Structure formats: C-alpha cells, structure tokens
Amino acid sequence: MKVFNKIVDLQNELFYARKEGKSIGLVPTMGALHEGHASLVERSVKDNDITVVSVFLNPTQFNDKGDLDRYPRTLDDDCKLIEKCGADYVFAPSVKEMYPSEDKRHFEFPPVSTVMEGARRPGHFNGVCQVVSRLFYIARPNCAYFGEKDWQQIAVIKQLVKYIGSDVKIIECPIIRESDGLAKSSRNTLLTADERAIAPAIFKSLSASVEYAMSHSISETRDKVVKEINAVEGLDVEYFEIVDGNTLQNVSDWNSSDYIVGCITVNCGKTPIRLIDHIKYKEHKI
C-alpha cells in the first residue's frame, strides 16, 4: 500500500491504472477509522481493481471550530487498518494541498441539504460537497462508498453527483453497530465511560418504535422516542424527524410514502457529543 500526500502524485499513479482499464473505488473519510470504515474499504476492494481511501479532516464542513478541534486524529492507526483491509492507496493531503486558496463554490440542494443537519449546522453540507467534489475530480473513481449512518449526507452527495455531471456510482453500505446497538462512529471515542454506557439507549428506543409505529400515528411515535431518550440522564434529543426517504420532507401519516425513515440526533454528555442515527419504518425506494 502506498500513501500519497500530493494530488499530482496520486493522479499520476491512477493515470496508469486507468490506462490499463482498471476500475477505481474511492472511500472518502475524515480519519479516526473504525470497523464501519473498514466495511466500506473491504466492499470497495471486493468491487474494484484499485481502492483509494482518502483521510482528510475537512475544515470547511465544520461550523463549530471546537468540534473540529476535538475530532480525533489517528493517521498512523488509520493506515494500518486500511492496509489490513487490502486497499491500494491512501490519500492524506494537508489542508493547503486540498485548498490552496479559499473554496468559494457554494452548493445547496434544497430540500435535502436544508433540513435536519442542514438546518442545524449552517454550511456543513456545502463543505461536504466542496471536499467530495474535489476528491471525485482528483481520483476520478468509478464508484464511491459511503456509510448509511450519515444517511442524509448520502442524499446530498447523490444530488451533488447530478449537479456536477459526474458518472461516479454512489454505493451505500449498511451501518455497522456495536454489540449493544450503538452505531459505530469516530465520535464514539470522545465519549466518557458513563456516556458510552447510556448511548445505546438511542438505538434501543428507535428499534422498539418500529413495532409501536404499526398501531400508532407518526406524531405519537415521534413523541414516544423523544420522551424515552430524554428520560435518560445525559441524553438530549436535538431532533427526531420522520421523513419521506426520497425527499427528506416530514410525512403526516404512514400511508403518505412507501419509504419512511426516522432520523435522529442526540446530544450526549455535559460537553455534548452529537450522536446521529436513523431507523427505517418503510423501505421501498422509488
């Protein structure tokens, strides 16, 4: 496995791979990798001749500098995990390499980029689109792999692909969870032992709500989940929205869509760590 820090070096390497007709898979990450990321890398290795994993903590998608400062940085360990998964290249550029000048491009794809995370983290999805579009330009992958934990992000990236006219195929990969149900996340490493102990209550409540929803309204289901999670000391629901899985707009009843998803963000602990998760109530996609 080779590690590149410069765009031109990675592009030169991929030029020859592409010339030989090899398929290229890209796994964009911000580092602090875990088993969830590993599943994306392994899927790309299985699907493609060449796999590139980017490790870049993108500052333009953080609207809270404190959140950026707290984000774990573990490049050496990340590279070991990536190599173990069978990837060919790691791309770990500096901020100056990725952004030699200010990126003034502005991406907005309402309604998918303006609700939920988009409404509460101004500029977040614009920053995501800035870096992902750059990575697509640099690597020119056939396929790019993203985890379903960041479910709304995938919807935004699909809109980005259409907007920039890219032919990259977006591959959605299932959430990888801890044995107690907590979604694997780089932010989990920031939880104290006490916070980690209460965090699984989020998915426990989401899971139980699926059966509850069969005999209750959307508003009743939403209220039940929020009440249960907020009853756990140290957890505070920032939002829980039950939406159409294609438009990301709130639904009024269970018959209004064939694809309905509950999306939640919970603040955990005194110095809140934002934990994101979702549950699918109906899964038919159009």
181 is in an annotated binding site: no
61 is in an annotated binding site: yes
127 is in an annotated binding site: no
Q: Quick check: helix, strand or coil at residue 87? A: coil
165 is in an annotated binding site: no
185 is in an annotated binding site: yes
33 is in an annotated binding site: yes
34 is in an annotated binding site: yes
Instruction: Beginning with the edge strand found earlier in the chain, give each strand of the sheet holding 259-268 in spatial order.
Output: 235-244, 259-268, 273-283
Q: Are 201 and 229 in contact (CB under 8 A)?
A: yes
150 is in an annotated binding site: yes
187 is in an annotated binding site: yes
Question: Residue 240's closest CA among 269, 214, 220, 256?
Answer: 220
Report the C-alpha gap between 144 and 38 in whole angstroms. Answer: 14
C-beta neighbour count of 204 within 10 angstroms: 16
DSSP 200: T
CA distances from 177 to 4, 39, 44, 156, 211 (A): 31, 11, 20, 23, 20
Report the C-alpha gap between 176 and 58 in whole angstroms. Answer: 23
Q: From the candidates 37, 216, 278, 284, give the one annotated as an active-site residue.
A: 37
Report the C-alpha gap between 141 and 143 in whole angstroms. Answer: 5
Parallel/antiparallel/unpaired status of strands 2-4 and 169-173? unpaired
**Is 216 among the catalytic positions?**
no
148 is in an annotated binding site: yes
Parallel/antiparallel/unpaired status of strands 259-268 and 273-283? antiparallel
Report the C-alpha gap between 60 and 58 in whole angstroms. Answer: 6
* Per-residue buried b or exposed e for 9-18, using 16+ beta carbons within 10 Å of the residue's own CB: ebbebbeebb
31 is in an annotated binding site: yes
147 is in an annotated binding site: yes
Which residues fall in the annotated binding site for ATP?
Answer: 30-37, 147-150, 176, 184-187
Which residues fall in the annotated binding site for beta-alanine?
Answer: 61
Which residues fall in the annotated binding site?
Answer: 30-37, 61, 147-150, 153, 176, 184-187
| Residues identified as active-site | 37
